[in-house]
Amino acid sequence: MTNNNNGSSEFDVVIVGAGFAGMYQLKRMREASFSAVVLETADDVGGTWYWNRYPGARCDILTVDYSYSWDRELEKEWVWSERYATQPEILRYAQFVADKHDLRRDIRFNTRVNAARWDEEQRRWVITTNDGGQLNARYYVMATGCLSMPKVPDVAGSERFTGEVYFTSTWPHDGVDFSGKRVGVIGTGSSAVQSIPLIAEQCEQLTVFQRTPNFAIPARNGAISEERIAAYKKDPVAYREEARWSEIGVPRERPQLSALQVSEEERSARYEAMWEEGELRAVGAVYNDILTNADANDTMRRFINDKIRAKVDDPAIAELLCPDNHYVASKRPCLDTNYFETYNLPHVKLLDLRDDPIATITETGIDTGKASFEFDAIVFATGFDAMTGALVGVDIIGSDGLTLRDAWDHGPQTYLGLMSVGFPNLFMITGPGSPSVLSNMMVSIEQHVDLITDTLVSLREKDFDRIEPTELAQSRWVEHNNEFADLTLMPSANSWYMGANVPGKPQVFLPYIGGVDRYRTACDEVVARNYLGFALNGPSGQQVNDGIIRELKPDVQLLLEAIAELDLPPMETMGVDGARQFMIESGASMPPGPDVGEIMDGTLSGADRSALEYRLYRPPSGGPHPITVYFHGGGWVLGNAITDDPLCRYLCLHSDSIVISVNYRHAPEARFPAAADDGLAAVTWVSEHAQELGGVPGRLAVAGWSAGGNVAAVAAQQARFAGGPEICGQVLLCPATDGTDRRPSHHENAENLGLTLSLMDWFWDNYCDEGNRSDPKASPLLARDLSGLPPALVLTCQFDPLRDEGDAYADALKGAGVKVRHLECEGQIHTSIPAVDVVVTAEYAREAMATALREFFGEPSPVSSGL
């Protein structure tokens, strides 16, 4: 290998940072026979653990997990002394690895990168350093870490203080003696929670300036228990592999229960066990909705706050230490050792900056609006410009002359948190848009380093020398990242996850919250699909494989995962009675939907004069109201007047119309055309009885989902042929419109997306003989004349087998001169839109349905549907 301290300037790969990421990346580059050099500002390895030397600095992941997995010998040679090793021990570990693998000979210490510029003609990066040196490299890897750029204090007068000033992010290497001193600490984040108890042990007087109180659980440090390490010792290889495919990079099962499903006694017992365990992983492992449901989160918040009150003697101070403006884990929770107990000491004082903000720092101390304090030393525990600070802190200039800083002016734009459009051959280890800080960083580092290395090897083998994401792939990954975050409570907090701790920084959720396992799956699929979302080129030619790696909306993905875990038999194998019972039971577990003014049940006369059950939903506003006749889904075989209850409630409330959900005769007891005839009979009956139902005569619309969309479409056609009743609009959600033909979506979306092709066939076989399926009453798309029908909103979902049928019907209506809006719902499945309060990414589609109904009725609507 080349000795990179001899002044060489040409490399295959330049790596910035000699922390755990840079060290492993260098090791992998050597193994793959790439010439590589690491540039490091410090004078030794360790990265974050080289700089973060403040009192009490520790890892907050058990060190048995926070360690390299790629060297089996290393795992035997190094034994951690504690559950959560201190900074000196972690730094010694990094140094031990560097020594064992002789890494330092390819690391240039005391070298800071000033700028890096992509040279399109040479197809190389040109990197300039603080010593005036210049290096050229085909590939440029930023291994600078997520928490390595100290945040500049945003406190007025911070430069005026003439006493001692310290930053937890750049602590003096020889330590600090606070004996006999008056000390002020600004900040109560993780570094403050760790350092304040130790500073308090030394100083004469300690004043803590708190803007936001923090959640913390006891670290319970000491030797790792045999029980906790048993799984690792049993089979280290299997343990590490399980970690790679876990949610946070530490083996644990995803919880299945909601915090709101259990008794208060059971919930308290589980929280006590979490408190005793002393691991951050336990916070998210208790219940499945702590990060998604405010009420569930509040149960944990109350528990932790009660624990804080029990630790702090002064009730007023205890209340100041109880977080009340953010949800548990929406900011980085902390592990503490005697943090709250420290405020019981007579020489420790807590200042609430929300009540009395800092006005300025003076030459001798700190002035608030109400008081002045004199200090011998001030400690800024103000944290980092997280995740993006080190990346945009130097000039990285891409192929179009734009700096990365300017390209990310409105928030980081990455594909997989790994690369960014306009910056070819630039890789970011654990960059924004990857799990990074929401995971065990060692697992995420190793995954990224392995992915980068394997990619460079693949490029070399295929004679490519340039790689860059496509605009589409990047924009949709950013969208996917944001949508996943928006399913949670995380973006609600002013946290460094959001960049909110740095004035002027765009506030977007930075890490990927979908989990290490889902992220790894996505990355593996990108590679397996021939580097989907990347443009490659080189001497051998060009390969542009544009595309989207995660087209399903994240809540839909989660729903399908939950269904898959149940391992249910196909519905069509349950028999008619079993399938009907299953549909009722599964519906009962769904959220109920919004409250409405009144709900009443009744019966009306069907086509054969039999009684059809209906449920009427009345808005809370004063009537009379227009009426929407709604037909439920279920393949003409399943369901009843109340199985689509949440959607009916939603449409009633938001369209300000009476919604009458009508049952119809079901197959196989009543085969075609029973459902179609009942649809027209129901609409006719409701029209005739509109006034007594509290409706407005003549202002009637039809709506339906799936088979119910078929019934609604047929009812609109039959009403036109019969000369009435008058229908002013139709809302057709994922309608079945043609039982005679196979279309691409039937095959593309045939499996594992809720509605399957085999289930569709079962529905049709129960409902209608093949010889009758060309009848427009079975297949409304096949009607000879669609002109004169009422205006329509047709909604289709990208991953629905019925998508192409609905698309074709919308096109046919438009071709016949009918006023139609066709809403194509990207990333959604057949069951998405009726899933009120479950699939929140489909909310816009439900809003569109309600808006369309209002406009059909001539009512003003908050948002125009474009009809």
pLDDT digits (tens, 9 = 90+) for 570-629: 999 999 999 999 999 888 888 999 999 999 999 999 999 999 999 999 999 998 999 999
Angle, alpha carbons 273-278-284 (nearest 5°): 70
Pick the range with the lowest mean pLDDT from 73-82, 110-119, 532-541. Answer: 73-82
296, HSE (Cβ side, Cα atoms, 13 Å): 19
pLDDT digit string (tens) for 738-773?
Answer: 999 999 999 999 999 999 999 999 999 999 999 999
Measured CA to CA, the distance from residue 781 to residue 851 in angstroms comes to 25
CA–CA dist 639, 733 (Å, integer):
16
pLDDT at 215: 96
Strands 426-428 and 205-210: unpaired
CA distance 214 to 212: 6
Least confident of 382-391, 395-404, 762-771: 382-391
Question: Residue 633: what pLDDT?
Answer: 97
Q: Compute how many other C-beta atoms are within 10 angstroms of the C-beta atom of residue 8.
A: 12
H, E, C per residue of 1-25: CCCHHHCCCEEEEEEECCCHHHHHH
Query: Which of 748, 706, 707, 751 minimizes the C-alpha distance to 563?
Result: 751
Instruction: State the amino acid at position 428 in one-letter form.
Output: M
- Which pLDDT score is estimated for 827? 98
How far is residue 361 from each of residues 314, 428, 429, 498, measured CA to CA in Å? 28, 37, 38, 27
The predicted model scores a pTM of: 0.94
pLDDT score at 862: 52
Residue 4 reports pLDDT greater than 70: no
Q: Are strands 358-361 and 348-352 parallel, antiparallel or unpaired?
A: unpaired
Average pLDDT on 552-564 reads 95
Alpha carbon distance 295, 291 (integer Å): 10
Whether 8 has a pLDDT exceeding 90, the answer reads no
Q: DSSP states of 381-397 as a string? A: ---B-TTTHHHHSSEEE
The one-character DSSP state at 784 is: S
Q: What is the mean pLDDT of residues 74-99?
A: 95
* Mutual angle of helices 236-244 and 441-461, in 10-degree steps: 80
Residue range 561-577: average pLDDT? Answer: 93
Average pLDDT estimate for 437-443: 96
How long is the chain? 867
Angle between helices 264-277 and 294-311 (to 10 degrees): 60
Q: Which are the contacts of 302, defined by CB distance < 8 A and separation ≥ 6?
A: none
242 alpha-carbon distance from chain centroid = 21
Confidence band of 865 (pLDDT split at 50, 70, 90): very low
Residue with tokens 């990285």: 396
What b/e string do you get for 823-852 counting C-beta neighbours within 10 Å, with b at 16 or more?
bebebbbbbbbbbbebbbbbeebbbbbbbb
Burial class (CB in 10 A: 0-12, 13-18, 19+), 723: exposed
Number of neighbouring beta carbons within 10 Å of residue 600: 12
Edge-first strand listing for the sheet containing 348-352: 164-167, 377-380, 182-186, 205-210, 348-352
Asked if 790 and 729 touch (Cβ cutoff 8 Å), the reply is yes
Helix axes 674-688, 707-722, angle to 10 degrees: 60
Residue type, 104: R
Nearest to 823 by CA among 801, 853, 803: 803
pLDDT at 247 over 70: yes
- Given the structure tokens 């492993």, which residue do they identify? 24
594 burial via Cβ count (<10 Å: 0-12, 13-18, 19+): middle
Question: β-pairing, 216-218 with 182-186?
Answer: unpaired
Q: Please work out, in degrees rounded to the nearest 5, the angle formed at the alpha carbon of residue 335 by the alpha carbons of 329 and 337.
A: 150
* pLDDT 10s digits, 261-308: 999 999 999 999 999 999 998 998 999 999 999 999 999 999 999 999
Task: Give me the sheet containing 729-733, strands edge to edge.
Answer: 598-605, 611-618, 658-662, 625-631, 695-705, 729-733, 792-799, 820-829
Work out the average pLDDT over 107-130. Answer: 97
Q: If you search the block for the tokens 């619309």, which residue do you land on?
A: 701
Name 237's Cβ contacts closer than 8 Å, sequence gap at least 6: 72
Q: Which token pair is 867?
A: 């009809």
Label residues 382-412 b or e (16+ Cβ within 10 Å = b): bbbbbbbbbbbebebbbbeeebbeebbeebb
Identity of the amino acid at 329: A
557 pLDDT higher than 80:
yes
Q: Which long-range contacts (CB under 8 A, 24 or more apart) does 478-483 make?
A: 478/411, 478/413, 478/414, 478/433, 480/550, 480/554, 481/433, 481/509, 481/512, 481/513, 481/514, 482/508, 482/509, 483/553, 483/554, 483/555, 483/841
Taking all residues of the chain, what is their mean pLDDT, rounded to a whole number?
A: 95
Contact 532, 473 (CB under 8 A): yes
pLDDT of residue 266: 97
The residue among 540 and 518 whose pLDDT is bigger is 518
Partner residues linked to 167 by β-bridges: 380
Sign of CA dihedral 527, 531, 532, 534: positive
| Paired sense of beta strands 358-361 and 216-218, if any | unpaired
Q: Is 109 helix (H, G, I), strand (E, B) or coil?
A: coil
- What is the Cα–Cα distance from 371 to 600, expressed in whole angstroms? 64
Show the CA angle centred on residue 367, arms to residues 361 and 368, nearest 5°: 120
What pLDDT is recorded for position 7? 67
